[in-house]
Amino acid sequence: MKHFALALAMAAGLATSLVTATHAATFGPLVEAGDLMASLETVDPVLLDIRNAGYEKGHADGALFAPYRMFRGPKDNPGGLVDVEKLEAELEELGLEQDTPIVILSEGKTDSDFGSAARVYWTLKSTGFTDLSILNGGLEAWKSADLPVNKTVESAMPSELDLTFGHQWLATTADVADVTEGEAKAVLVDARPAAFYNGEKAHDAASRPGTLPGARNYSYSSFFEKGSPAISKPADPEALKATMGIRDGEDTVSFCNTGHWAATHWFAVSELAGVKNAKLYAGSMVEYSNSGNEMANTPGLIQNLINQIIN
């Protein structure tokens, strides 16, 4: 990825439900509970409950259990890519087909929950699934709309898949290093809260605090009204470009600690605002900090110790 090709497309009329992009043929990338409810009699989407726990205590009627851990890397690098063959086998057990409408449901209690749905969406899109949507507000929005909930463990007829992981929306550590070293051009956007960007906090699996050299800070939480678990109307594409400092013809890479918060950022920029070829640095700062590459905003030893004590 010596140069990410970024073509910025204007998003038109992000009105009541934000379902305006054409990435998903049935509902659009983001669907509100009311719109989904109105369509259930004519459309039979596959509902994926991606919570790691609680499915057996109550889930959206008909939803299949596809826990978030299926889509995550190992403990020492949770943002790393999953083993495609393993993922393929698990998705076959769920009976998924690449052209079937799929609606992803997170817990929906905090804005951070949205990141799990966005990361699952990104993974499925990168492996060839074409009709994807996230239920805005997740299971909590489903319940608030008085849609049915049950405790039955759902199953499906197994399918046959042949998945490969496409790199169209992926930035690797090597790709990012090319940018930080001046070998490639891209706008690097740190989607974490400012304390992480400033080197005051670090993920437990990161070898050191700090951010990517030259990165700008634009927290994933900017896409939510304060305290809301549902993503809000994104900024006008031109305003978003101006805020993040993206000039026409430049590229953008979203990152965070483990590719979770950054998945929300990528989703809002790519799927809602229409920024084509926007990429997610899946491994993010945990992977990068352990790679030995240069970092920015890394405090000295004493200051880092003080920060750890404070936090």
* pLDDT tens digits for range 174-231: 999 999 999 999 999 999 999 999 999 999 999 999 999 999 999 999 999 988 999 9
Residue 3 falls inside a structural domain: no
Examine the domain organization and report whether 96 and 209 are in the same domain: no
Distance CA 121, CA 134 (A): 7
Considering the domain boundaries, does residue 14 fall inside one? no
What pLDDT is stored for residue 310 in this prediction? 62
In this structure, is residue 11 part of a structural domain? no
Stretch 276-286: mean pLDDT? 94
Nearest Cα residue to 136 out of 224, 218, 219, 58: 224
Q: Identify whether 23 is part of a domain.
A: no
Average of pLDDT values for 13-19?
Answer: 34
Provide the greatest CA pair distance for the chain. Answer: 62
For residue 9, is pLDDT > 50? no
Domain termination residue (choose one: 150, 185, 201): 150
90 with 207, same domain: the answer is no
The pTM is what? 0.88
Q: For a pLDDT cut of 70, what percent of the chain falls above it?
A: 86
Bridge partners for 216 per DSSP: 189
Residue recorded with tokens 């352990």 = 290
* Structural domain count of the chain: 2
Beta carbons of 139 and 105 less than 8 angstroms apart? yes
Contacts of 195 (CB under 8 A, 6+ apart): 201, 311
CATH number at residue 264: 3.40.250.10
131 and 85 housed in the same domain: yes
The residues, ordered by sequence, that sit 6+ positions from 118 with a Cβ below 8 Å of its Cβ are 134, 263, 264, 266, 267
Q: Are both 137 and 182 inside the same structural domain?
A: no
pLDDT score at 246: 75
Question: Do strands 30-31 and 132-135 pair parallel, antiparallel, or not at all (unpaired)?
Answer: parallel
**Whether 184 and 305 share a structural domain:** yes
Mean pLDDT of 130-146: 97
pLDDT at 275 over 90: no
Domain that residue 248 falls in? 170-310
Considering the domain boundaries, does residue 21 fall inside one? no
Residue 276 has a pLDDT of: 78
Residues 6+ apart with CB under 8 A from 236: 11
Which residues, 6 or more positions from 306, have their beta carbon under 8 angstroms from its beta carbon? none
Whether 111 and 228 share a structural domain: no
In this predicted structure, the answer to whether residue 117 has a pLDDT above a threshold of 80 is yes
Instruction: Please tell me the predicted confidence (pLDDT) of residue 299.
Output: 64
Structure confidence by residue, pLDDT tens digits, 48-81: 999 999 999 999 999 999 999 999 999 999 999 9
Same-domain pairing of 134 and 178? no
Same domain, 303 and 176: yes
What pLDDT, on the 0 to 100 scale, is given for residue 243? 81
Residue 111 lies in a domain: yes
- Domain co-membership, 237 together with 142: no
Same domain, 199 and 127: no
- At 305 the pLDDT is 57
